Structure 1
Amino acid sequence: MAARTGLARKAAEGAKGARWCLGDAYEPHIRVQDVRRSNGKKSRPKYQGRELHLLSDLEVRAFRHFEWEPTVVGIEEQYYLEIEDTVRIAAEAGASHPLVIGTDDPFEMTTDLVIYHQCDRGERRMARSIKYSKDVELGLAETPVERRKVAHRLEKLEIERRYWTERNVNWALLTERELSEERQRNIEWLLSSSLDGARPDGFWQHAADLVCEALVAGDGARVVDLQRELDADGILGEADFTECLRHLCATRQVAFDMEQRFSLLRPVSDFAFAAAPLKLVG
């Protein structure tokens, strides 16, 4: 991958690094097509009107994790770190700054994800580096060459940590141990939910009322038993029941443990209602 010196898509930083999320105007400093190799599949999911450039399966998992959080209002990937600052920080820390291959020129650094979230004091951001544990834990390195590579990555992470600390931004390292693959699958399945707009007006609201009434009355049963009962009585088809419950979960009106795969075989007690009144559009 070539360095983007002179062509860097830099995010303009304000005082102490504060700035608002740029939304669809944001451009990542590294794009999928810039990278020859990556840890797993490279991915470009749609988000807030633009393509995200995620360079590993784990970055996709982390993105889904934060996308699902209700307080998150924006996510920016492959976030450029001001090279003048990273070079200075590396010198202060006694760390080796990444170099452009075959030269003594410093290589521009990035942070995998910068997440903007809404809190009582307004919009704040946090920075997250996403790495597989084998790439950042010396104890997992099996050869001297691997240990040197891990040690160099740890130096880069320390530069990142200090960079964000100077800007009063919370930084942390996430590995696959903190990012559940099952949660990712649930999130992706829920977010792909789409109710059939060809149904008559009020159909889905009525279906939602039926599903919720069944869940309330069916404590102790399995969800699939309620689904089959409504279908057998000619009240609501099995496919419509499933799609309606899926939509209720996707819109956070019904909740379940996202660390376990969504299944109609689960007991009704695994699902909980939101405090707000249930409402579907369509």
Structure 2
Amino acid sequence: MAKHNLQWDENKLKRFLREGRGQGEGQNYKPWVTVQDFPSKGRCSRVLGWKTNRIHHLFTDSETRYFYLLEWEDAVVDIREHYPLLDLEEVIKEKGDLNFNLFKDKNSGLPYIIYTSFLITLKDTNGQKRYIARSLKADYELQRQRSIERLEIERRYWSNKHIDWGIVTQKDIPTVKAKNIEWVHSSLHFTDERGLEKEEMIYLCDVLLEKMTESSQTIRKITADFDKEYKLQTGTGLFIFKHLIATKRIKLDMNKEIKLNGRLENLVINIKKERMGEDSIVNY
């Protein structure tokens, strides 16, 4: 098993900068820290993003669930996790009362690079972009002096950048909604793994959607019968159902648990019945 050096020193800083960490946007962005940097963390996730078509590195359940909430929002066009404040010294002018000694490596004495959990790009209906920054913390961490000091550094940094910044704890995250999004998330990609060509997927989506609008059966029953009728691999109907939710052709109350033994009418807000075009199939 490979050994990971967790010490922070000049060589590692130079390597991170040389690798372009914290640089780029969209698909080209590289987070300051990755799952590979902290192999002992037990709740890490690597998720292929809808918005960016790149792998996102997430270290806690709260980070992962918040990421899924961001993925669901149409106004969000880019998500940059673990965004480093590389120009912190220049941006924060008044720092005499801040204790930066809390954020130095004990052996090398080199200051750590402070990073914010998420830098998010939003685009309004007029095409104008704006940025918001969010720091994810467990609520108990807000009682720790080191966390308080770090958050104050982040707050001043983003304030001087004139970018909206806020703290998000696990209590701010609607868990059911996040889990529902996670459940459908992978169906937006990987349609080819089901052995479905694009034209076939378009056709099957339209047919299943029509059946769901006409049937009073449970979701599980409708999708299972669909597999049998069209001689599909078991689970394909359920995959297409998830895809219809992910593409928002079936609009559900995502704050309610999706129960497969329940009827769709108990969840549905709106169903788009128009035929699906090829641009509605996302298959990276």
Please classify the TM superposition score into its range, dividing by the shorter chain length.
0.7 to 0.9
Q: 1:198 to 1:174 in 2, by over 3 A?
A: same
- Match 1:63 to one of 67, 70, 77: 67
Shift of 1:162: 1.7
> Corresponding residue for 2:25?
22
1:178 is the counterpart of 2:184: no
Q: Deviations over 1:29-68 (max 9, x none)?
A: 2233434664x42333334354333232322222222122
Contact 1:2–1:34 (CA<8 Å) still a contact in 2? no
1:277 is the counterpart of 2:274: yes
Q: Structure 2 CA distance, aligned partners of 1:159 and 1:274?
A: 46
TM-score (norm 2): 0.74
Partner SS, residue 161 of structure 1: helix
Partner SS, residue 76 of structure 1: strand
Q: Structure 1 CA distance, aligned partners of 2:184 and 2:246?
A: 5
Q: 1:279 to 1:129 in 2, by over 3 A?
A: same
- Match 1:187 to one of 152, 159, 181: 181
Q: Structure 2 CA distance, aligned partners of 1:159 and 1:201?
A: 49
Q: Structure 2 CA distance, aligned partners of 1:226 and 1:244?
A: 12
Partner SS, residue 83 of structure 2: strand
Q: 1:261 to 1:3 in 2, by over 3 A?
A: same
> Corresponding residue for 2:209?
212
Q: 1:276 to 1:224 in 2, by over 3 A?
A: closer
> Corresponding residue for 1:245?
241
Contact 2:92–2:156 (CA<8 Å) still a contact in 1? no
Which deviates further from its counterpart, 258-267 or 272-281?
A: 272-281
1:107 is the counterpart of 2:103: no
> Corresponding residue for 1:146?
none
Q: 1:236 to 1:121 in 2, by over 3 A?
A: same
Q: Deviations over 1:11-45 (max 9, x none)?
A: 57xxxxxxxx622332222233434664x423333
Q: 1:23 to 1:229 in 2, by over 3 A?
A: closer
- Match 1:258 to one of 254, 257, 262: 254
Amino acid at match of 2:172: E
- Match 2:149 to one of 149, 155, 167: 155
Identity, in percent, stands at: 24
- Match 1:127 to one of 127, 133, 137: 133
Q: Structure 1 CA distance, aligned partners of 2:191 and 2:34?
A: 33
Q: Structure 2 CA distance, aligned partners of 1:11 and 1:107?
A: 14
Partner SS, residue 132 of structure 2: strand
Which deviates further from its counterpart, 62-71 or 166-175?
A: 62-71
- Match 2:121 to one of 116, 123, 136: 116
Which deviates further from its counterpart, 95-104 or 235-244?
A: 235-244
Say what the alpha-carbon RMSD is for the aligned residues: 3.3
